């Protein structure tokens, strides 16, 4: 064996092979953050171990979670693996989800929603400019709640425009946006708002 081959052999020997416990910890960490089922092949590439070993450990993990009667299960769906809540606790999870959807909006969310309702369609940049703060997180909340949706693209800036949804009208008991109460009494300088907005650049 040449010296170069010996070096290659030594380098391979130095590669740390994860133990089953270490591999399980690594897989758990990855599976905790995936949003869609992930395949054994991808997991094998990330963990740098054979696919067969990944599949073996995943099956052991799945069986252990069931045996331990955990609140979650590990399941293979559509060619990939992912954590799911235990089906036995479906009613509890459903109650949590529904209660969460019914929780009140924060003051920031209400203010952002008001801006959209009265100035729609409007871009995120203009909303941020009016409120004076970044509205990225708040917008995500409003969209997830089904209160706001995309409404085309602004021709000049190509920025996505947003508007309120029919669900928003239903929640407020309104037939249309025109039924919103006048905003002028609460904003003395409303007449100058269009002029201010026209100076903003998205």
Residue 188 has pLDDT above 80, yes or no: no
Instruction: Please report the pLDDT score of residue 8 as a whole number.
Output: 47
**Mean pLDDT for the stretch of residues 95-103:** 63
Most confident range, picked from 104-108, 150-154, 182-186: 150-154
Q: Are 197 and 126 in contact (CB under 8 A)?
A: yes
Choice between 68 and 169, residue whose per-residue pLDDT is larger: 68
Digit-coded pLDDT (tens) for 8-17 = 444 444 456 7
Residue 198 has pLDDT above 80, yes or no: no
Instruction: Please report the pLDDT score of residue 178 as a whole number.
Output: 87
Residue 51 has pLDDT above 60, yes or no: yes
């Amino acid at each position: 064996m040449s010296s170069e081959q010996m070096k290659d052999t030594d380098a391979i020997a130095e590669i740390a092979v994860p133990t089953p416990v270490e591999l399980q910890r690594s897989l758990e960490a990855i599976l905790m953050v995936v949003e869609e089922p992930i395949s054994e092949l991808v997991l094998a590439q990330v963990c740098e171990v054979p696919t067969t070993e990944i599949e073996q450990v995943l099956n052991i993990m799945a069986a252990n979670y069931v045996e331990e009667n955990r609140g979650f299960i590990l399941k293979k769906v559509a060619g990939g693996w992912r954590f799911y809540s235990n089906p036995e606790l479906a009613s509890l999870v459903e109650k949590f989800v529904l209660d969460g959807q019914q929780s009140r909006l924060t003051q920031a969310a209400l203010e952002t929603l008001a801006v959209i309702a009265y100035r729609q369609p409007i871009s995120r940049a203009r909303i941020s400019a009016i409120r004076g703060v970044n509205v990225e997180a708040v917008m995500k909340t409003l969209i997830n709640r089904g209160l706001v949706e995309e409404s085309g693209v602004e021709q000049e800036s190509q920025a996505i425009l947003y508007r309120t949804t029919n669900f928003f009208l239903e929640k407020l008991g309104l037939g249309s946006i025109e039924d919103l109460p006048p905003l002028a009494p609460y904003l003395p300088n409303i007449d100058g708002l269009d002029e201010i907005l026209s100076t903003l650049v998205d």
